[in-house]
Amino acid sequence: MANLKADLLNELRNAKYYEEHELARLAQDPNTNYKEKIDDIVAQLKTIALINQSLGLTEVYFKEPVEPVEPVAPVVNYPEPDAKPATEEVPTVIAQPGKPLPGQSHGE
């Protein structure tokens, strides 16, 4: 089956393109009665607004399927009953501007 969302969006964008050209034509037509021109432009703007809403709703209702991510159980290392607790402190490395941290190829 073809991509329904892509085809729907393409159809709506094409319709919007032609409606916008019709709006420009209506606005520039010198032979139309002024009151009729205003009414036609309002109708054209309503049509374009509906198409814009349809485009937004298409994005909401036809979301790309998200592949589920399998949860990974955390690995917990329990200390052995006879083991001594580790009291060794790890030195804190403070980055200086422009200098890379240990293990980095360049500073950011």
pLDDT one-digit tens code per residue, 45-56: 999 999 999 999
Give the global pTM.
0.56
Question: Which pLDDT belongs to residue 45?
Answer: 96
Overall domain count for the chain:
1
The answer to the question of residue 11 being in a domain is yes
> How many angstroms separate the CA atoms of 104 and 100, rounded?
6
The answer to the question of residue 71 being in a domain is no
The answer to the question of residue 12 being in a domain is yes
Task: Quote the domain boundaries for residue 27.
Answer: 4-61
The answer to the question of residue 84 being in a domain is no
CA torsion angle 54 56 61 64 (round to 10): 130
Which residue from 16, 1, 18, 4 is spatially nearest to 55, judged by alpha carbons?
A: 16
pLDDT one-digit tens code per residue, 93-107: 565 666 766 667 765
